[in-house]
């Protein structure tokens, strides 16, 4: 059963409000090494407060926040994605920090160097449960000694030169692990990972195979040609994972009839000479075909207006015994 946004909030609230919660911070280096940062207790307390407040502001207090699976990601905003695909090796570090069998090497400031930090892994929790946050570190957050850095001394009302490297930690984070799973806060950041590209292309290939089995397309190979485009490939992934048209086994003839008659797409998708298969001869027709399989074209029962939906939630039909009908004489 899929986790809901209420379930996720319950997990986060449980940890953030628990007794004995502390923070540990690890540096993921550019060469893939994971090392623990030796940080004084007062500063660790400040880091814990910083991220717990961010979780509260960005998730717990947001009544409009949505949670959907990554494989069915659509165009809606204000979303957290539950990761439900093969996890790239880049994220093994998120699980390693909570694994007591993994030895944690201390970050050596002289040898490892701050500029080699690619991301911070922040673990917040106690002995029983934790949340782990993955935060990328941009070069703008690293201040090295070769820059001229001034520090303000309040007591003397003056500035003095700081002869040290500095690392700025802001409260935003891109990924999160809880006991319920792994979650994506920023989809665009995920799409930049080469490992994720490979996973998406593999999943999109499965969708192409499912589509080919339908014998619905005259030229199914045209979809395979677009798999290298990760944005289009991600749209294809949704088909074998969450297509209502496939789930309900809608006949090919009904799909073709829909393409030929629905006002918003009529004339934009061609068929073969026999009229029994769809011919995808333009990029527009390929995009429209994916949207058709995802049942994105809807008609209001109230106004009879037609819509191209960017996002939608499916409602369960209430069982007949729960329907109440009243009559008046």
Cα–Cα dist 21/295, whole Å: 45
Contact 236, 207 (CB under 8 A): yes
CA distance 262 to 43: 61
Contact 123, 26 (CB under 8 A): yes
Q: What is the pLDDT of residue 324?
A: 43
pLDDT digits (tens, 9 = 90+) for 115-172: 888 999 999 998 888 999 999 987 555 655 555 555 566 666 666 666 677 788 889 9
The DSSP symbol for 86 reads: P
Domain boundaries, the chain: 5-139+166-192, 196-308
Residue 37: closest CA among 128, 105, 130: 105
pLDDT (mean) for 174-179: 95
Q: List C-alpha distances in Å: 56 to 4, 44, 171, 191, 287.
A: 17, 18, 11, 26, 38
- CB half-sphere exposure, 82, CA atoms < 13 A: 18
* pLDDT at res. 317: 54
pLDDT of residue 229: 87
Which tops the pLDDT comparison, 312 or 282?
282
pLDDT digits (tens, 9 = 90+) for 272-304: 999 999 999 999 999 999 999 999 999 988 999
What is d(CA 143, CA 237) in angstroms, rounded to the nearest whole number?
41
User: Could you tell me where the beta strands, DSSP code E, fall in the chain?
Assistant: 22-29, 34-36, 66-69, 79-82, 105-106, 117-125, 130-136, 142-143, 150-153, 158-161, 166-167, 175-178, 181-184, 270-271, 278-279, 297-299, 306-308
Calculate the average pLDDT of the chain. Answer: 86
- HSE-CB at 226 with a 13 A cutoff on CA atoms is 21
Say yes or no to pLDDT of 318 above 80: no
Selection from 38, 42, 45 nearest residue 23 by Cα: 45
Angle at which helices 5-16 and 41-55 cross, to 10° = 160
Nearest-5° angle of CA 22, CA 104, CA 193?
90
Terminal-to-terminal C-alpha distance of the chain: 45
How many whole angstroms separate alpha carbon 20 and alpha carbon 8? 21
Backbone angles phi, psi at 197, to 5 degrees: -55, -45
pLDDT at 254 over 60: yes
Closest CA to 22 of 106, 95, 126, 121: 126
The angle that helices 230-242 and 194-213 make with each other, rounded to 10 degrees, is 50
Mean pLDDT of 37-55: 93
Taking only the tens place, the pLDDT of each residue in 67-107 is 999 988 877 889 999 999 988 888 999 999 988 888 889 99
């Amino acid at each position: 059963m899929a986790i809901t946004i209420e379930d996720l909030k319950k997990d986060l609230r449980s940890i953030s409000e628990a007794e004995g919660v502390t923070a540990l911070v690890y540096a993921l280096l550019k060469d893939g090494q994971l090392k623990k940062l030796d940080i004084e207790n007062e500063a660790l307390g400040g880091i814990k407060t910083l991220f717990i407040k961010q979780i509260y502001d960005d998730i717990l207090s947001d009544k409009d926040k949505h949670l959907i699976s990554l494989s069915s990601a659509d165009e809606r905003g204000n979303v957290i994605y539950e990761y439900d695909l093969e996890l790239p090796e880049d994220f093994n570090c998120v699980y390693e920090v909570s694994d007591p069998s993994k030895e944690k090497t201390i970050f050596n400031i002289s040898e490892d160097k701050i500029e080699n930090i690619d991301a911070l892994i922040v673990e917040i929790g106690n002995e029983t449960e934790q949340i782990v946050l993955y935060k990328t570190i941009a070069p703008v957050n690293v201040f090295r000694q070769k820059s001229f850095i001034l520090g303000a001394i309040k007591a003397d009302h003056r500035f003095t030169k700081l002869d040290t490297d500095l690392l700025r930690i802001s409260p935003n984070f891109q990924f999160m692990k809880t006991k319920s799973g792994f979650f994506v806060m920023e989809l665009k950041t995920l799409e930049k990972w080469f490992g994720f590209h490979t996973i998406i292309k593999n999943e999109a290939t499965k969708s192409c195979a499912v589509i080919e089995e339908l014998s619905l397309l005259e030229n199914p190979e045209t979809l395979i040609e677009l798999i290298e485009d990760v944005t289009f490939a991600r749209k294809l992934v949704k088909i074998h994972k969450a297509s209502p048209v496939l789930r309900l086994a809608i006949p090919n003839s009904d799909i073709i009839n829909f393409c030929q008659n629905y006002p918003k797409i009529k004339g934009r998708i061609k068929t073969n000479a026999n009229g029994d298969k769809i011919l995808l001869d333009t990029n527009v027709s390929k995009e429209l075909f994916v949207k058709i399989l995802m049942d994105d074209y809807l008609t209001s029962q109230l106004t009879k207006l037609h819509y191209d939906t960017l996002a939608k939630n499916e409602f369960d039909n209430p069982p007949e015994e729960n329907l109440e009908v009243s009559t008046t004489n």
